[in-house]
């Protein structure tokens, strides 16, 4: 395995393919993120018809007080762990790293620990979510609200917002109790 800064499982030969700017040259510039997001939204129905499964990566990020970082999206209800879909030519860890940086400004500084892989068939019959515990991270520039992320905040696990999705609640309960993770989101 070739070690790379914040991409622990991606060999150098694939590193360029694993980055969004490879596919959208204006990514990260004014309108670049909007362009990439719009393309992704337009392609979603096609991907769901042609793929046997979709795969997402979400991170459980805790602050120094043990509170967990949750996000409220602008396009779906509830509070969720930050994360998103794994793109073509992208490892799950690279997707997690990219999504955490884009959504909440979190930069992973050491390999996260896989909590589990969960079937999210209520959303799509082939959807799976890889959930990681992110213990080592930095957040130099927390982003403000965007069209995708309307709100983000840290919450104590006994004071989660009422709208926190059931899957996120179950993952936190599993971690706190030490129980074996359920395979259903």
pLDDT given at position 6: 43
pLDDT given at position 9: 43
Report the alpha-carbon distance of residue 93 to residue 108 in Å, rounded.
10
Domain 53-177 has CATH 3.90.79.10: yes
Return the HEC string of 101-152: HHHHCCEECCCCEEEEEEECCCCCCCEEEEEEEECCEECCCCCCCCCCEEEE
Specify the pTM.
0.74
- CA torsion sign for 123, 124, 126, 129 is negative
pLDDT in tens, 58-86: 999 999 999 999 999 998 999 999 999 99
Q: What are the residue ranges spanned by the domains of the chain?
A: 53-177
Work out the mean pLDDT of the chain and round it to a whole number.
83
pLDDT in tens, 91-108: 999 999 999 999 999 999
Measure Cα distances from 180 to 55, 59, 81 in Å: 21, 18, 19
pLDDT given at position 52: 75
pLDDT in tens, 111-126: 999 999 999 988 778 8
Q: Are 94 and 77 in contact (CB under 8 A)?
A: no
pLDDT given at position 39: 75
């Amino acid at each position: 395995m070739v070690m790379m800064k914040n991409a622990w499982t991606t060999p150098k030969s694939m590193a360029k393919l694993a980055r969004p700017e490879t596919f959208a040259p204006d990514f990260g510039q004014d309108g670049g993120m909007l362009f990439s997001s719009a393309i992704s939204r337009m392609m979603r129905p096609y991907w769901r018809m042609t793929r046997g499964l979709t795969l997402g990566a979400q991170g459980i990020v805790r602050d120094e007080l043990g509170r967990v970082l949750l996000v409220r999206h602008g396009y779906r209800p509830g509070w969720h762990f930050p994360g998103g879909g794994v793109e073509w030519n992208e490892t799950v860890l690279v997707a997690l790293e990219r999504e955490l940086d884009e959504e909440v400004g979190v930069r992973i500084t050491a390999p996260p620990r896989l909590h589990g892989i969960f079937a999210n068939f209520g959303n799509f019959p082939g959807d799976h979510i890889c959930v990681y515990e992110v213990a080592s991270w930095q957040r130099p520039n927390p982003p403000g609200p965007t069209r995708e992320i309307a709100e983000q905040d840290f919450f104590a696990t006994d004071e989660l917002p009422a709208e926190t999705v059931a899957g996120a609640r179950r993952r936190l309960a599993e971690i706190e109790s030490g129980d074996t993770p359920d395979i259903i989101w």
